[in-house]
């Protein structure tokens, strides 16, 4: 059975060119780059070149990149460095729709006595900028907002926010795990203090990430050990994976145009086709979002049931973040947006990449409607082609497409 993979916001296939670039470092080029002998010396230039390629994608200096193991480590490093370098500031600002790597750290910091402001979003997932402006104070140690939401693809105005933070002397971090490689970036022209990314979101392997740290920023390492990464992250360099991330960054930079044209067009055609199914709604801003992502709710049925039936045909999608999809609770992102309970439970995220084709979109559009029709026929909230009266009573916001 052919696999149709529409879950690229969860993880991506390792590009064959990335695997090819990595392979020698599992065989002949196995030296430790910190070693003084020739086996160490022969691999060090490859790390420098990989760093250059990643810095080109981000629009920053190679020396501003710190390699990590993943996006979560990068987020933790940024957050705890900002806290520890400013012990007199006890206030943090984040949003109500962040990734669990930020959400769970914020929960811990609250228990440690920090004051946290979680800025809300509107029905389209857009940040409440007025609430954010009111929240900024001289006591703020860190502002951390994602660049793009992992569930809806909604893009926050992070460069504008970074400028506002810079004017007030506040450190600004952005979790750009979903944005890197999908939208153009030029960090030299921005006031972003720190930026997190993960290789497996842009066709590099799992187990490699990076943190951009603006030159001159006060910084303390999260992983304490040797002198690696200019004393900013201890531990022997993961040479094969660093090389793989460098190659993936090079490919992503070359494919940015395709990502924002052909992939966007595929996503739009898939979305428009799915919206022909009755009682379906797009979750999130349809203008300011990633070019590859759509999040659609099919009201009065369970998203997990849709995924099960799609998987029978080889179609891979998601009901939200892969880091929280084991929970039966509705997505905290959709709930923060005010999506009604009956719609939030039936949400499906489809995230494309440059590997996807028109034929895959056509196949998916052919399979989706009968799946939804079958599941609604089994739903206690559905009868004779429409929601029941009891279904309408479950709506808890005025944004339901049936009630409004």
Please list the active-site residues: 323
Q: Phi/psi zone of residue 269: left (φ > 0), alpha (ψ -120 to 50 degrees), beta?
A: alpha
- Looking at residue 147, the DSSP 8-state letter turns out to be S
Burial of 37: CB neighbours in 10 Å, binned 0-12, 13-18, 19+: exposed
SS3 state of residue 287: coil
Burial of 77: CB neighbours in 10 Å, binned 0-12, 13-18, 19+: buried
CA-to-CA dists, residue 355 to 106, 110, 115, 259, angstroms: 36, 43, 44, 10
SS3 state of residue 1: coil
- Looking at residue 261, the DSSP 8-state letter turns out to be I
Residue 67 CB neighbours (<10 A)? 25
For residue 101, the number of C-alpha atoms closer than 13 Å in the C-beta half-sphere is: 27
Burial of 157: CB neighbours in 10 Å, binned 0-12, 13-18, 19+: middle
Q: Tokens for 192, please give them.
A: 């972003």
Q: Rounded to whole angstroms, how far apart are CA atoms 310 and 307? A: 5
Q: Phi/psi zone of residue 153: left (φ > 0), alpha (ψ -120 to 50 degrees), beta?
A: left
Q: Tokens for 308, please give them.
A: 């099960």
- The side-by-side arrangement of strands in the sheet containing 280-282 is 280-282, 293-298, 347-351
Quick one: CA torsion of 4, 8, 12, 17, rounded to 10 degrees?
Answer: 80
């Amino acid at each position: 059975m052919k696999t149709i993979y529409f879950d690229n916001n969860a993880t991506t296939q390792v590009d064959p060119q990335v695997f090819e670039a990595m392979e020698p470092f599992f065989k002949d080029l196995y030296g430790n780059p910190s070693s003084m002998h020739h086996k160490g010396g022969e691999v060090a230039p490859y790390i420098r070149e990989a760093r250059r390629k990643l810095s080109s994608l981000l629009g920053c200096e190679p020396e501003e990149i710190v390699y990590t193991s993943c996006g979560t480590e990068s987020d933790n490093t940024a957050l705890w460095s900002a806290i520890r370098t400013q012990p007199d500031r006890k206030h943090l600002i984040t949003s109500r729709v962040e990734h669990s790597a930020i959400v769970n750290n914020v929960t811990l910091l609250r228990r440690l006595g920090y004051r946290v402001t979680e800025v809300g979003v509107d029905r389209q997932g857009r940040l409440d900028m007025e609430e954010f402006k009111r929240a900024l104070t001289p006591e703020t140690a860190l502002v951390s907002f994602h660049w793009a939401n992992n569930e809806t693809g909604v893009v926050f105005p992070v460069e504008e926010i970074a400028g506002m933070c810079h004017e007030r002397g506040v450190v600004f971090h952005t979790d750009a795990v979903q944005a890197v490689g999908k939208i153009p970036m030029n960090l030299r022209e921005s006031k972003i203090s720190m930026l997190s990314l993960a290789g497996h979101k842009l066709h590099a392997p799992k187990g490699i990430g990076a943190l951009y740290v603006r030159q001159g920023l006060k910084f303390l390492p999260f992983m304490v050990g040797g002198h690696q990464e200019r004393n900013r992250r201890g531990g022997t360099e993961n040479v094969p994976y660093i090389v793989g991330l460098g190659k993936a960054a090079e490919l992503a930079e070359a494919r940015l145009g395709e990502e924002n044209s052909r992939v966007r067009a595929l996503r739009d055609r898939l979305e428009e086709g799915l919206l022909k199914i009755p009682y379906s709604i797009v979750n999130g801003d349809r203008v300011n979002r990633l070019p590859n992502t759509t999040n659609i709710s099919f009201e009065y049925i369970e998203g997990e049931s849709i995924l099960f039936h799609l998987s029978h045909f080889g179609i891979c999608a998601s009901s939200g973040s892969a880091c929280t999809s084991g929970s039966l609770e509705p997505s905290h992102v959709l709930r923060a947006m005010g999506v009604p309970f009956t719609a939030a439970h039936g949400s499906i995220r489809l995230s494309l990449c440059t590997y996807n084709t028109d034929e895959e979109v056509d196949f998916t559009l052919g399979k989706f409607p009968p799946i939804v029709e079958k599941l609604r026929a089994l739903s206690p909230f559905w009868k004779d082609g429409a929601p029941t009266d009891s279904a309408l009573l479950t709506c808890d916001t005025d944004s339901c497409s049936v009630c409004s």
